[in-house]
Amino acid sequence: MRLLLARHGESVWNAERRFQGRTDIPLSARGRAQAEALGTALRGYRLAAAYVSPFRRARETAEVALAGTGVPLVPLEELRELSLGEWEGCTVDEVRARDGDPYRAWLLAPHDCPPPGGEPLDAVSSRVRAAMDRISALHPNGEDVLVVAHGGVISVYACALLGCSFNALWRLRVDNASLTVVRPPRLVSLNDTAHLPDTLATATHVRASIVGGERAP
């Protein structure tokens, strides 16, 4: 089986650099355009099915990208984004302004320095790997299967495949409407955005080093 992992398009809160986590936020107009571009890239695959996070930004991305294809969409609760606890609804600048700049600590060591009340990354990994195993069992014959989820979900799964510490999580880049390809247990490619025109690609200032604190949540 070949898994095509797509991050949802830009949400309204992505555009505002606001933490969303499990808050159910819709796509922005730019996010819908990104989803359309993603759909063009997906026409090159013969998709047997699409599994999607229950959150609106992921569902909308899948619906736009797969419009007219007849590919069935299957919601999976285990694909929901990780919870960011008390930070949800806050902007990056608001969290940075707190004592000790916890945002920077989280970027450098997200496993050791999680947001207050946030979901532990080990728990995220367990549920996401269980979902991927379940999908694999349903498609044992080498089919192409789409998974539309979130940056945190895809990054955690990539870390698990690579066998690296979850403290390296934000060193992996997963842009809005990107494609990551997996042939379990092998990570084939990460964060392919070749299908996005320059006007829809992640802005240059956001692509700067996450250690410098310029990554959008």
**Residue 139 is among the residues annotated as catalytic for this protein:** no
Measuring CA to CA, which residue among 111, 126, 113 is closest to residue 157?
126
Cα angle value 54/59/61 (rounded, 5°): 145
**Residue 36 is among the residues annotated as catalytic for this protein:** no
Backbone phi and psi for residue 48, each to the nearest 5 degrees, phi listed first: -85, -30
Residue 78 CB contacts under 8 Å (≥ 6 apart), including other chains: 127, 128, 130, 131
Which of 10, 78, 81, 119 is catalytic? The answer is 81
Q: Which residues of 30-45 are buried (b: 16+ CB within 10 A; e: fewer)?
A: bbbbbbbbbbebbeeb
CA distance 20 to 45: 31
CA distance 162 to 3: 16
Active site residues: 8, 81
